[in-house]
């Protein structure tokens, strides 16, 4: 069975300003549910640090739970160099302390030479912390699919950066199965895994952050998605990223159990 990574971002103040992330409770719940890795969003981590906790204490908790930090998110790369450097340095500090392998990122502006240069600078900073950038495309963002992401990474020339394929963005974006099949294994950072019901509104941003579903409870062809990734030889961790207003109301323990129970049969 593939190792599953629990994502903290559903309870993050990044999604719902002012929401109490309960980061330690989430991490304990994830370990108890069977997850083997944690994906931690920086706003939740920083919210916890504001209570007086320290990065070494979070690292010690992860070690005690035997729940390594697989990735941090979401770093937004901007053409504003000072902003991008500042954000990258915050993520680098956390990545170094927690031993994260990846920092998931997105682009917050128009494509061009300035964006490519900013991305390359962010990759250098993150690389200095022992991690690498994992670039996520979105159907409503400057890069919407695999080929556009591949082209941007080639232009940026960012060391170690690879592509995140989120099932939500794949099924709602311009890519077909041939595009996913054509993604080389060494281009893939890792997959993010989730489901979704039929689109109910015209607002894709709201749909993706408020209405995702547990795997198997939506309309995505997840069996084929998993098979396609396995056929190319992917055997690394799978990030299960469920963003749902309804499930956000569940206690961390219940949420972690529900997510693991729904995702694990697909990757058994």
Residue 183: C-alpha distances to residues 152, 179, 247, 263 (Å): 15, 6, 32, 23
Residue 154 Ramachandran class (φ > 0 left, ψ -120 to 50 alpha, else beta): alpha
Average per-residue pLDDT for the chain: 97
Instruction: Determine the Cα–Cα distance for residues 260 and 35; give it in Å rounded to an integer.
Output: 7
The secondary structure of residue 214, as a DSSP letter, is: -
In tens, the pLDDT along 2-33 reads 999 999 999 999 999 989 999 999 999 999 99
Residue 32 Ramachandran class (φ > 0 left, ψ -120 to 50 alpha, else beta): alpha
Least confidently predicted of 57-61, 79-83, 239-243, 252-256:
79-83
Domain count, the chain: 1
| Sequence-distant (≥ 6) Cβ neighbours of residue 254 within 8 angstroms | none
Is the pLDDT confidence value at 1 over 90?
Answer: no
Burial label, 106 (beta-carbon count in 10 A; 0-12, 13-18, 19+): middle
In tens, the pLDDT along 158-170 reads 989 999 999 999 9
In tens, the pLDDT along 66-106 reads 999 999 999 999 999 899 999 999 999 999 999 999 999 99
Torsion angles phi and psi, residue 173, rounded to 5:
-105, -170
Burial label, 64 (beta-carbon count in 10 A; 0-12, 13-18, 19+): exposed
H/E stretch holding 162 reads: strand 162-166
Is the pLDDT confidence value at 109 over 90?
Answer: no
Q: What is the CATH number of the domain that holds 160?
A: 3.20.20.150
pTM of whole model > 0.75? yes
Which residue segment(s) compose the domain that 171 sits in?
A: 4-267
| Of 215, 212, 210, residue with least CA distance to 259 | 215
3-state secondary structure of 102: strand
191: confidence class by pLDDT, cuts 50, 70, 90: very high
Length of the chain: 268
| Of 67, 13, 76, residue with least CA distance to 45 | 13
In tens, the pLDDT along 211-226 reads 999 999 999 999 999 9
Beta strands 132-136 and 162-166 are parallel
pLDDT of residue 210: 96
């Amino acid at each position: 069975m593939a190792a599953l990574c629990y994502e903290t971002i559903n309870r993050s103040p990044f999604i719902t300003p002012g929401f109490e992330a309960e980061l330690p409770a989430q991490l304990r719940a994830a370990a108890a549910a069977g997850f083997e890795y944690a994906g931690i969003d920086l706003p939740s981590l920083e919210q916890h640090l504001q209570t007086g906790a320290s990065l070494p204490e979070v690292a010690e908790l992860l070690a005690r739970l035997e729940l390594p930090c697989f990735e941090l998110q979401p770093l937004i790369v901007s053409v504003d160099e000072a902003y991008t450097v500042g954000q990258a340095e915050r993520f680098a500090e956390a990545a170094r302390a927690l031993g994260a392998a990846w920092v998931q990122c997105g682009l917050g502006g128009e494509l061009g030479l300035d964006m490519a240069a900013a991305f390359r600078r962010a990759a250098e900073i993150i690389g200095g912390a022992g991690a690498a950038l994992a670039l996520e495309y979105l159907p409503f963002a400057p890069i919407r699919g695999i080929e556009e992401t591949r082209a941007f990474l080639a232009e940026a020339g960012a060391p170690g950066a690879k592509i995140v394929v989120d099932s939500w963005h794949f099924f709602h974006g311009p890519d077909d199965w041939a595009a996913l099949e054509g993604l080389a294994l060494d281009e893939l950072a890792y997959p993010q895994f989730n489901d979704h019901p039929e689109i109910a509104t015209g607002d894709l941003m709201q749909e993706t952050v408020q209405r995702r579903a547990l795997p198997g409870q939506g309309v995505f062809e997840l069996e084929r998605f998993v098979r396609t990734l396995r056929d190319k030889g992917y055997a690394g961790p799978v990030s299960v990223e469920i963003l749902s207003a309804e499930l956000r109301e569940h206690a961390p323990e219940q949420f972690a159990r529900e997510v693991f129970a729904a995702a694990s049969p697909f990757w058994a």
